[in-house]
Structure 1
């Protein structure tokens, strides 16, 4: 007999269409994912996933697509049941790793201060997956780096901020402004900053795979940006925090990259509970955006890090 864990595994496989990626995101082994998925299919007497040699990705069968709708609802109901004992409202936010430190602490404090008996659930994912989470009611609010049309999802601009160059202490600097030609691609710690940035980046440098290292998690940048000559391009708010440690210096780029835009996404048909929470939270989100937009100018170059 299958349980909520099996349902969660199937949903992640359906989302990634890749056993390895599903296992990585669930922090379990590939063999466990394959075994539990097979046991679920046997319990249901259905083939949910099409497998075959030479296939680049898994595919859901028609039965799998039909069951995915049921599985999402089962998972949602299971999570609600887990919190019934405590009579707490659950509010889920799907966020990018690069926004977690910037936005989540303040939002958490605000919500718990203004809404009693609230359980806040934070899901860290990629922009594309966040659309899926919101559309499937697995997340009530999402933060993404691009706007797109998506079934049953409402998208609205949140805030934008400039992108700047961050370099480790000891790097020889030409001044507070640099050009793309001064930045060697093999020294780049590449960090994705949205589609418009990607297009701009590829006009100046080869594909990200030619960089020193390519990341999808901005939290890793301070751990890897540690050798003189290295560089990365980050949003001004994160760059400012790194410079404040005394281990990094900042430069503007000329010509500048496009600003980094962040968007709020919600379901077009939220539950009454979610709608009430959003009514409380929305003014605070607007206040946060106004604060970031008003302080989004380029931070000053840290003179103490000038090369010698």
Structure 2
């Protein structure tokens, strides 16, 4: 008995017809009939009732009992066929805020997915409090956030610090010296909520009387919207560093800039974070990327 015999039996049981089963299995009906007879002989029992003048086959009592076994065997055959691909397979699930996933972490994921032996990845984007909960309840292995919510069951590791930079569109007038936030026209702003601290800074300088030109919730749109315009935006330096054509835009020194922000890795205290563990490898590769990026500061 082999996997083909199990598949043959299950297909006949599901279709109730030798002719239909033969079509599904791409064999002739006589060949399938002979294969069924051989299986029944090996098991020493009749699996299907064959009534004179009827094309449909029905399971015997023995056939119904064997059906449950065959379903389990088929699943085991499928699982065992994947064993050769599972050698040294490791996995890592990562839950991260959107601005990191959309920009800085893309080369990180490429590095991790190209490792030998393979590292299977699960990558998701979420809000900070949801990321904390997903690490705590074992849904994900590691998360990356910008706020410390002080969870006793989690480790909290600073990874890098970055400044917020003022980026002017292609047609934005370039000043001769650093400018004050008071000189910026909020009606030409592309606004994104980066953090609570950033919101406080933004409200202090711009208030709420004049709405921004565009309010965004996707960082991937910022570069496109700045191109060939006189709009401006304040973005984390890690986001700007991953723009496709930063040379088409202008980074303008800003007096009284927003507070810098820090990226933290969070993971459970009981997890393996040794250098050769998936989490350890992830942190090592991220630190290397940070060292290579002139816009952010390794911690």
* TM-score > 0.5 by shorter chain: yes
Distance 1:237 1:281, change over 3 A: closer
Shift of 1:291: 3.6
Task: Say which one has the larger Rg.
Answer: 2
Please name the residue that 1:119 is paired with.
Answer: 120
Paired residue total: 214
* Contact in 2 for aligned 1:146/1:195 (Cα 8 Å): no
* Contact in 2 for aligned 1:161/1:261 (Cα 8 Å): yes
Determine whether 1:191 maps to 2:192.
yes
* Contact in 2 for aligned 1:197/1:260 (Cα 8 Å): no
* Contact in 2 for aligned 1:187/1:230 (Cα 8 Å): yes
The separation in 1 between residues aligned to 2:213 and 2:172, in whole angstroms, is 16
Please name the residue that 1:234 is paired with.
Answer: 235
Distance 1:198 1:208, change over 3 A: farther
The separation in 2 between residues aligned to 1:102 and 1:225, in whole angstroms, is 16
* Contact in 1 for aligned 2:275/2:284 (Cα 8 Å): no
- TM-score for both structures, normalised by structure 2: 0.62
- TM-score for both structures, normalised by structure 1: 0.60
* Contact in 1 for aligned 2:172/2:232 (Cα 8 Å): no
The separation in 1 between residues aligned to 2:269 and 2:104, in whole angstroms, is 23
Determine whether 1:174 maps to 2:182.
no
The separation in 2 between residues aligned to 1:98 and 1:237, in whole angstroms, is 9
- Unaligned residue ranges in structure 2 (runs of 5+): 1-78
* Contact in 2 for aligned 1:188/1:213 (Cα 8 Å): yes
Please name the residue that 2:219 is paired with.
Answer: 218
Shift of 1:226: 4.6
The separation in 2 between residues aligned to 1:254 and 1:126, in whole angstroms, is 30
SS of equivalent to 1:178: coil
SS of equivalent to 1:177: coil
The separation in 2 between residues aligned to 1:262 and 1:175, in whole angstroms, is 32
Shift of 1:120: 0.7
SS of equivalent to 1:143: strand
The separation in 2 between residues aligned to 1:282 and 1:234, in whole angstroms, is 24
Please name the residue that 1:133 is paired with.
Answer: 134
